[in-house]
Amino acid sequence: MSEYLLQMTGIDKSFGGVHALDHVNFAIKPGKVMCLAGENGCGKSTLVKIISGVYTRDSGEVMFEGRAIEKITPADATRMGIQVIYQDLSIFPNLTVMENLAINSEITANRKIVNRKRWEQTAREALSKIGYEIDLHKKMGELSVADKQLVAICRALLFNAKLIIMDEPTTALTKKEVDALFKTVRQLRDSGIAIMFISHKTEEIFEISDDVCIMRNGKNVFLGETATLTKKDFTYYMTGREIEDDYFVPTNISKEPVLKVEHLTWRDKFHDVSFELRKGEILGITGLLGSGRTELALSLFGLGKVHSGTITLNGRPVKISSPIEAQRLRIGYVPEDRLTEGLCLRQPIADNIMLSSLKQLTRALGMIRHQELFEKSNEWVKTFSIATDDAHKHASTLSGGNQQKIVLSKWLNNDLDVLILNGPTVGVDIGAKQDIHALVHDLANKGLAVIIISDDLAEVVVNCNRVIVMKDGGIVGEMTGDRITEENILDIIR
Amino acid sequence: MKSKTFEKHSYTFMLLGLMAVVLLFFTALKGGMMWKGDVWLGIAMQFPEYGVVTLGLMFCFICGKMDMSFMALGNFATIMAVMYMGAHADSPAGGVILVGIAIALGIAVVGGLINGLLVAYLDIPPVMATISMQLVWTGLSVALTNGNTVKGLPSLYTDIGHTYLLGFLPVPLLIFLVIFAVAWWLLQHTVYGEKLYMVGTNIKAAEFSAINTRRMVIGTYILCDVICCIGCLIMISTMASAKADYGTSYVMRCILILVLAGVLPDGGMGRIDNVLIAIVTIQIIATGVNMFPNLNTYYASLIWGALLLVVLVMSTRMSSGGFLRLRAKKAAKA
């Protein structure tokens, strides 16, 4: 029997004409944490789906516990001990923790009658496997993402999982929750379970993994021990290019503040928030989920409430009652959730870019200037090198980074004084992230006032000349220049 | 290049193909009877009234909303109009007719406004809000008329429904064509049309892009109900009366046509040219079914229901490629 739990060699998979996986090799040992890393669209999820039996490979060999595996279905994979915890967690939000934990084994055992005692027993057994405690009778939908994840892990363990695959589990977690998750992962690893951890966050991968498999464009470019890699190598393998951190150096800060916020309060969301913002500055606002950072941004964009306090813009007190008013006051907002708040995915790229500037395209009788719509949006496609050959194609055809460029150009096509970016690079791969950062630096130095709201501390440190830290709805710290480091921010947040 | 054009219009070609199949089917069963001039004049006479209604509902669908109240509202509006016209039978017909039409359209505006306010400001799910309004309007109509037909239309008005302009062009068809042209213009050439597709695709993203989405929803409901009311005004002309439950089967028929045309109620989808093809196809089916006098009329309902199911199943399986919006030619070149 080989030392590997799962060994895959020369895996090929094509969809139509697209070669999604090109002779990929992959192997994982029991009792190890293996990270599968790569930018969006590199073939990570295809590989996972082949392992879990959702897709069938075109060619290549798969060995599981030393036996060659031919075709498998998802049910086979579960029986063999392969469990996938997807990003959406596949839970029933309207059922309780207990019911979620017990339902699968009840169904597998083909039981028809509900026995609450047995259900509770199954659920307790599941939780005890990782020594995790939670109210069994809470509705799943009321739990935080982190708790849902732990419940999902417990459920996986009920199936005597030998290999647990976690698909970007840390995306929606705070730092503290990530630490807790990693503790559990290590615990599982020490009990002999193999963990496959999918991520594109460099820090996390170095913290948690024993081995790493890096993929790029459907090929694996690195497979080996994490310890043998430097972060620089890692970035190079991920992107295929050398990337240096490019710190923001403000060169053009105005004397007078363009935006002044005083004692702003939205009851139960944030309170007594005051700050100033000058032209040419990039101000970072950071804090954990629920610290009030997003709500503050919404209030500045007319989608939140203001119970007390004042907002002064260019020296004049203003009331921002709607996004339409915000736009008139030359404030733009790039929302947190690109897919639901930023884009009309089933509409052309061009129309998305011009969505907030339709006034410019109006002529007599409310008619639209189609020609101009395409010319203008094509200019933005060129300026931002948005990866498309035709702006008529739907926004959904683009990757996360390119989609974010659409949302950015939508606002930059307006004449702005203040641009608020909420999580500007969430789900964006390293290459596009650099592009967006460079662009924002450039805009600031041309006189735009920028606010970046982010919980990606590395992003805040590199891109902001001033940082405000929020906690429980209030400002708990402010730092400038060299004082901005991840350690200093973490000291305040925790 | 040619294949690209084909791909772009593939769904339109499919609809035309369906129309041809339907024609062949009835020709095979009934032979030359399908191709008599009368039959086609009948088709041209019959489809405009619900064709117009369908065009109204189309705006609602593209906006991602639903309206179940339009026929009940249209019936109430036309009952009020007929009552007014009947009460002023001794005044000059022209003026009375104009005032009557104004009353009906005014009520439609109010009805659309209420729908819009319920959906946009009170956040009531569109189906629930408009079903409630359907009951309200039907209730009002029945209370006013005891469920009886209301007569008393000036003969000048009832003639509209039966007049052929230049001997071959039915006036209802002409009205349909005018409304079709206006709807086409609104969708393809105005900022309103542009916003409508975007709001229908993702209303939240539109709101975050500084578009007044509430005004869009309310305006669209008003537009929808006014156009539907015009359809009802044609209907009372051919019926020479108004009634609380005229055309209630049109609600499902309009939905069937729109889904068949690829204007799905999810919003942001669909082309008006496909809607025209679907309207005509459905009328051909209706006319064809009527050629079998032995067929119990209750079977017709069965046929429509089955057809709606088939179309729904088909449309959920089709790739979204067929349901793209139509682009102005000029823009496509850019």
Name the domain count of chain A. 2
Which of residues B22 and A399 earns the better pLDDT score?
B22
ipTM here: 0.86
> By the CB < 8 Å criterion, does B182 face chain A?
no
User: Is residue A249, in this structure, part of any structural domain at all?
Assistant: no
pLDDT per residue as tens, chain A (494 positions): 468 888 898 888 887 666 778 888 888 988 899 999 887 667 888 888 888 888 888 888 888 888 888 888 888 888 888 888 876 666 788 888 888 888 877 777 777 787 888 888 888 888 887 777 788 888 887 887 778 888 888 888 887 788 999 888 877 677 778 888 888 889 888 988 899 988 877 888 888 899 999 888 788 888 888 888 888 888 888 877 666 677 888 888 888 899 999 999 999 899 999 999 999 999 999 988 778 899 999 999 999 999 999 999 999 999 999 999 999 999 999 998 888 899 998 899 999 999 999 988 888 888 998 888 999 999 999 988 888 888 888 888 887 888 999 999 999 999 899 999 998 888 777 778 888 999 999 999 999 999 999 888 888 888 999 999 998 899 998 998 888 888 888 888 76
- Residue A138 makes CB contacts below 8 A (sequence gap 6+) with A96, A97
User: Is residue A1, in this structure, part of any structural domain at all?
Assistant: no
CB contact under 8 A, B331 and A373: yes
Question: Who among B207, B268, B328 is closest to A346 (CB)?
Answer: B268
Helix axes B37-62, B250-260, angle to 10 degrees: 80
CB contact under 8 A, A371 and B327: no
Question: What pLDDT band is residue B312 in, cutting at 50, 70 and 90?
Answer: confident
Mean pLDDT rounded to a whole number for chain B:
88
Element (H, E) at A177: helix A175-190
Whether residue A32 is found in the same domain as residue A160 = yes
Which span out of A140-154, B231-245, B296-310 was modeled with the highest average pLDDT? B231-245
Mean pLDDT score, B296-307: 77
User: Is residue A392, in this structure, part of any structural domain at all?
Assistant: yes
Q: What amino acid is encoded at A239 in this protein?
A: T
Chain A interface test: which of B4, B182, B202 (most A C-beta within 10 Å): B202
Chain A interface test: which of B209, B214, B215, B325 (most A C-beta within 10 Å): B209
Residue A229 CB-half CA count within 13 A? 26
| pLDDT at B333 exceeding the cut of 50 | no
Domains of chain B with bracketed CATH? 2-333 (1.10.3470)
Whether residue A470 is found in the same domain as residue A345 = yes
A239, A270, A297 — which closes off a domain? A239
**The pLDDT of residue B276:** 95
Which one, of B64, B4, B115, lies nearest residue A393 by Cα? B4
**The pLDDT of residue B234:** 94
Q: Domain residues for A400?
A: 257-493
User: Is residue A481, in this structure, part of any structural domain at all?
Assistant: yes
> By the CB < 8 Å criterion, does A375 face chain B?
yes
Question: What pLDDT band is residue B1 in, cutting at 50, 70 and 90?
Answer: very low
Task: Please state, as a whole number, how many other Cβ atoms lie within 10 Å of the Cβ of residue B102.
Answer: 12
Asked if A470 and A287 count as a contact pair (C-beta separation under 8 A), the reply is yes
> By the CB < 8 Å criterion, does B218 face chain A?
no
User: Is residue A207, in this structure, part of any structural domain at all?
Assistant: yes
| pLDDT at B320 exceeding the cut of 70 | no
CATH number, domain of A126, equals 3.40.50.300
**The pLDDT of residue B321:** 47
Question: Who among A351, A370, A375 is closest to B328 (CB)?
Answer: A370
CB contact under 8 A, B191 and A343: no
Whether residue A338 is found in the same domain as residue A230 = no
User: Is residue A404, in this structure, part of any structural domain at all?
Assistant: yes
User: Is residue A139, in this structure, part of any structural domain at all?
Assistant: yes
Paired tokens of B192: 């309103």
Whether residue A211 is found in the same domain as residue A269 = no
User: Is residue A247, in this structure, part of any structural domain at all?
Assistant: no
Which one, of B80, B132, B127, lies nearest residue B104 by Cα? B80
A208, A239, A270 — which closes off a domain? A239
| pLDDT at B139 exceeding the cut of 90 | yes
| pLDDT at B334 exceeding the cut of 50 | no
Q: Which of residues 324-363 of A touch B (CB under 8 A)?
A: 324, 326-327, 333, 335, 340-347, 351-352, 355-356, 358, 361-362
> By the CB < 8 Å criterion, does B269 face chain A?
yes
Whether residue A235 is found in the same domain as residue A356 = no
Q: Which of residues 377-406 of A touch B (CB under 8 A)?
A: 378, 392
**The pLDDT of residue A452:** 94
Whether residue A180 is found in the same domain as residue A303 = no
Whether residue A334 is found in the same domain as residue A418 = yes
Whether residue A231 is found in the same domain as residue A262 = no
Print the SS3 string covering chain B.
CHHHHHHHCHHHHHHHHHHHHHHHHHHHHHHHHHHCHHHHHHHHHHHHHHHHHHHHHHHHHHCCCCCCCHHHHHHHHHHHHHHHHHHCCCCCHHHHHHHHHHHHHHHHHHHHHHHHHHHHCCCCCHHHHHHHHHHHHHHHHHHHHCCCCECCCCHHHHHHCCCEECCCEEHHHHHHHHHHHHHHHHHHHEHHHHHHHHHHHCHHHHHHCCCCHHHHHHHHHHHHHHHHHHHHHHHHHHHCCECCCCCCCHHHHHHHHHHHCCCCCCCCCCCHHHHHHHHHHHHHHHHHHHCCCCCCHHHHHHHHHHHHHHHHHHHHHCCHHHHCCCCCHHHHHC
Question: Who among A341, A344, A371 is closest to B201 (CB)?
Answer: A344
CA distances from B148 to B77, B86, B145 (A): 15, 15, 5
Whether residue A15 is found in the same domain as residue A68 = yes
Chain A interface test: which of B203, B208, B214, B327 (most A C-beta within 10 Å): B208
Whether residue A308 is found in the same domain as residue A232 = no
Question: What pLDDT band is residue B329 in, cutting at 50, 70 and 90?
Answer: very low
Whether residue A233 is found in the same domain as residue A285 = no
> By the CB < 8 Å criterion, does B262 face chain A?
no
A239, A270, A298 — which closes off a domain? A239
Paired tokens of B35: 């191709």
Whether residue A262 is found in the same domain as residue A156 = no
Q: What amino acid is encoded at A169 in this protein?
A: P
Q: Any idea of the CA torsion for B87, B89, B95, B100, to the nearest 10 degrees?
A: 40
